């Protein structure tokens, strides 16, 4: 078992305009989310979100308190949202609360509190992959498992776009305040149907929230072209399956790919309001 982490500092948009491809990828792309029997994390200075992944194969993996947190437990001052994006079922064990089994594309929210959390797979031949986002939390809310069915029952499922527009998609808002209480973390999963490749168009920014995208459910030999940057100064980052990307508050966040795919979006910031975006027409982007 091994826990790896790195720090990512915030970039000023005026500075980011001058980044070449290598620097852009270094600042925003998270290539190593999963590796066998390891927990990988990026501690971002964008709203202090932690983006990470745990892939237990031969052993259970603890969610350890990394040094930047300066805390006895990872969740001492944090909340976390977890999605299983692996082939097999997995179990998240929470000290004092028990075991929570997550199948493919199921999610779990855990609120703030001093307790141990571990990840394990039910079958080493088909390991679970636990993708997670974590934000600072001012209070503790109850642990809750959420499936797509439960999100739909709460009216948190949106069907948008069209095949003609290459963006026929389903937005599963699963760990959002419409479904359960959170401090600032909001997470969901968008599934694009076959023949569709565009997400998050028209593009937008939300200056009071940062966001992270994680792309999966796409063949190994296909790629995603993620668009970011200020609306009048956009950049692209080519990504592969099981990679994540940080999106600053000043940046758009959209993509087109060579195949349909699924992505998980996670947001942290000062509000939980979805209606405060600044929208940009496709024809106005540069």
Of all residues in the chain, what percent carry a pLDDT higher than 70? 100
Predicted local distance difference test score (pLDDT) of residue 14: 96
Rg (CA), the chain: 18
Domain total in the chain:
1
Question: Is the confidence at residue 13, as pLDDT, over 90?
Answer: yes
Q: Token pair for residue 71?
A: 């805390």
- Tens digits of residue pLDDT in 85-104: 999 999 999 999 999 999 99
Q: In what order do the strands lie in the sheet with 144-146?
A: 2-8, 38-44, 50-54, 130-136, 78-84, 107-110, 144-146
Give dist(CA 17, CA 145) in Å, integer: 41
Would you say residue 274 has pLDDT above 80?
Answer: no
Structure tokens at 213: 């995208």
pLDDT recorded at residue 59: 97
> Quick one: pLDDT at residue 260?
98
The predicted structure's pLDDT at residue 272 = 83
Cβ-based neighbours of 165, under 8 Å, separated by 6 or more: 196, 198
Locate 266 and state its tokens: 């996670």
Q: Report the pLDDT value the prediction gives residue 270, as an integer from 0 to 100.
A: 87
Q: What is the pLDDT of residues 206-263, one digit of tens each?
A: 988 999 999 999 999 999 999 999 999 999 999 999 999 999 999 999 999 999 999 9
> What per-residue confidence (pLDDT) applies to 281?
92
Return the pLDDT at 124. 95
139-176 residue pLDDT tens: 999 999 999 999 999 999 999 999 999 999 999 999 99
Short-list 270, 235, 267, CA closest to 251: 235
pLDDT of residue 192: 98
Range of the domain at 206: 2-284
CB atoms within 10 A of CB 191: 18
pLDDT of 275 > 80? The answer is no
Q: Residue 85: which CATH number?
A: 2.60.120.10
From CA 130, how far away is CA 127, in angstroms rounded? Answer: 10
Q: How far is CA 149 from the centre of its chain?
A: 20
């Amino acid at each position: 078992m091994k826990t790896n982490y790195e720090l990512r500092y915030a970039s000023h948009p005026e500075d980011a305009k001058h980044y070449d491809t290598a620097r852009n990828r270094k600042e925003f792309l998270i290539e190593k989310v999963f590796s066998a029997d390891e927990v990988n994390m990026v501690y971002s200075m964008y709203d202090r979100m932690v983006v990470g992944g745990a892939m237990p194969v031969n052993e259970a993996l603890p969610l350890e308190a990394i040094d930047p947190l300066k805390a006895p437990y990872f969740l001492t001052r944090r909340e976390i949202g977890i999605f299983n994006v692996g082939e097999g079922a997995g179990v998240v064990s929470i000290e004092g609360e028990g075991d929570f089994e997550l199948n493919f594309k199921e999610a779990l929210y855990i609120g703030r509190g001093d307790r141990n959390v571990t990840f394990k797979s039910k079958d080493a031949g088909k390991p679970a992959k636990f993708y997670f986002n974590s934000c600072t939390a001012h209070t503790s809310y109850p642990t809750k498992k959420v499936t797509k069915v439960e999100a739909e029952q709460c009216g948190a499922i949106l069907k948008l776009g069209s095949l003609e527009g290459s963006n026929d998609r389903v937005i599963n808002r699963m760990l959002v305040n419409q479904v359960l209480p959170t401090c600032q973390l909001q997470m969901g999963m968008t599934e694009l149907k076959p023949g569709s490749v565009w997400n998050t168009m028209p593009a937008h920014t939300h200056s009071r929230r940062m966001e992270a995208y994680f792309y999966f459910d796409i063949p190994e030999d296909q790629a995603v072209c993620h668009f970011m940057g200020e609306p009048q100064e956009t950049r692209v980052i080519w990504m592969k399956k099981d990679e994540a990307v940080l999106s600053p508050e000043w940046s758009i966040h959209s993509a087109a790919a060579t195949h349909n795919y699924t992505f998980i979006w996670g947001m942290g910031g000062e509000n939980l309001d979805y209606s405060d975006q600044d929208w940009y027409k496709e024809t106005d982007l540069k």
